Amino acid sequence: MMLIEFFWVFPVISASTWLTMLSAMLTHWVVIGEPRFGRMKPEQTIPFISDIGAQELKPLFMIGSIITMLFMNISFYQFLQYKEHVNKICMYLSFLFAIFGSLGLVMLSVFDNLDHLILHDSFVAVFMTGYLVSAAVICIDYFYLGRSSRVNKRMLMASFVIKVSFVIVELAFILAFRITAAQGTIEKNTAAILEWVIAFTFTGYILSFIIDLLPSTHKNSVSKHEYQQLEMDMNSSRLMI
């Protein structure tokens, strides 16, 4: 049980790897003179992440993505194993979509946008969709639990707010990204900036699992039997309404 005290380290490693990888890629591009890459439009001056990731830093992009997803999924697994107060159906569904999202990120780093554009764009969609749905499912369950007086509401609310904010903000950025990416050359720069913002924002979602894995968050949790009773009580309330 003492190991529980250190599970919060996993999302720290994941987020640190992700942040370091993105920062290294962006810094490298600036240091070498901000060159234009293969698929950049004539007047486009800001590259997409994948434009840099398809060049000499492709090994960094691949390894960084793999390490990020590895520790992210370990964090999620430990979250499922030691959080007794959650609805297991919601959590396993969320974990399933997180796996899809992880595979999407790893595969988009392997199939770059120079030689495998269609595959690359497809895996980008899988990555974004997987993690947005995963986060949304967790938020639904946390909102449900928030109506119980037996859970650690302060810790629960902190994690809930971060994850809800992630879903809302990322959806807005992704929508703007898709619109600008489909426009002309000038808008490509805006789309590229939005993609970098989306990627850096993902760091916050990873770090939110530190709260979920802190030992103090496990105190005063709701048992499986109590959770089932909570479900029955809430269903009865709906019927009365």
The three-point CA angle 205-22-132 to 5° equals 30
**Looking at 6-20, 47-61, 76-90, which range is the least confident one?**
76-90
pTM of the shown model: 0.81
**Looking at 13-27, 61-75, 181-195, which range is the least confident one?**
181-195
Given pLDDT bands bounded at 50, 70 and 90, which one contains residue 81?
confident
